[in-house]
Amino acid sequence: MVELVIVCAIISIIAAISLASFANRDQAGRFQADVAARLRERRASAVRINALTEPTFLENFRQPPIGIDFTNLATTAPLVVEGQERTTFAPPANPGGNSTWNFVYQGRQLQIPAGWRIATGASDLSPISLIPLGTLTTSFTFTAAGKLDTLSLPVYTSNTNPNNENPFPTIYLTNGTTARAVAVHPSGLVELWNYDEATQKWTGFSDRQVTATPTPTPTPTATPTPAPAPCSIGVSPNPLLVPKNGSATITVTLWSNTDPGTVLAAASGAAKITVSPSSQNITGEQSATFTVNVITSNGSVNFSSPCGSTNLSVKTF
């Protein structure tokens, strides 16, 4: 009986620890989702207000960025953009004067769970480290296009390497033991980040991780210039069929030749074959025409040039 009581006690303790851990994780997820939803709502409100703003006599009027500040929980309630009592813009009395915005919030503000806090500095998050490239912030402002206002973006050195990601503003939520984060990218995209206590690493969409170490800018590989093809000499037709005591015309071409050159013809004297002219000057791949005269029998003609030499086979019939 004593042993059974001890076993039940151990099981109860383990169950209590497990339930607390699961409850904490569930609470962290709900808190993170609530912050992300309010960021998306504020971005949508910035886009919506732009369409409802009455025209003013100020030339080239542009809607100022619409923000949300998580250190001022009153601004985390939904922004009213339609109806009689809604967010409005009061133009200045005189051109160039100061205008006034009247923001109307309605609904439930962000509720911070017991034991949790919004980090206002790296010390609030310690000993958990910041996300590499995730610059800590507590306020965000969106333009009428739904993008982050450029003044909300962290200062960074611009780069032209597409493999390097720029820093992005991030709000951190922690209970001292674990943490969650919500990042907003320049386009307005909201990304959820989770901290893994076991590996002590942050993971974002699709378990991605980022590093603050820049990837070296890839150096374009120079395309090697192909070496020019060596020139060659060709004769056509080859072999040459010529009736006895007859003649025929052949063409000699220097393929891939780029320089001026001379083609020399040397016929087989024993076979009583002659060629005219005995030489010709050509430029580039220009073709040269020769006349081959045959008296009695088969033989050959050798053509030489700066691109080498070739033999023409002469057959009589």
Instruction: Quote the CA–CA distance of 262 and 276 in Å, as a whole number.
Output: 14
Fold agreement between 20-91+101-156+167-207 and 232-316: no
Provide the CA 140 distance to its chain's centre, in angstroms: 26
**The tokens of 75 are what?**
């601004």
Q: What is the CATH number of domain 232-316?
A: 2.60.40.10
Instruction: Quote the CA–CA distance of 32 and 274 in Å, as a whole number.
Output: 98
pTM of the full predicted structure? 0.59
Alpha helices (H) in 53-178, listed in sequence order: 122-125
| Backbone φ and ψ of 296, nearest 5° | -125, -45
Residue 41 CB coordination number (10 Å): 16
| Backbone φ and ψ of 48, nearest 5° | -70, -40
The neighbouring-strand residues paired with 110 are: none
Domain residue ranges in the chain: 20-91+101-156+167-207, 232-316
User: Hey, what CATH class is 20-91+101-156+167-207 in?
Assistant: alpha beta
Q: What is the pLDDT of residue 85?
A: 87
β-bridge pairing 179-184 and 168-174: antiparallel
pLDDT in tens, the chain (317 residues): 888 878 777 877 776 665 555 455 589 999 999 999 999 999 999 988 876 655 554 445 667 788 999 999 999 999 998 888 888 877 667 766 777 788 999 999 999 999 999 999 999 999 999 999 999 999 999 998 899 998 878 877 766 676 788 899 999 999 999 999 999 999 999 999 999 999 999 999 989 999 877 666 566 666 666 666 678 888 888 888 888 888 888 888 888 888 888 888 887 655 678 888 888 888 887 788 888 888 877 888 888 888 888 888 888 87
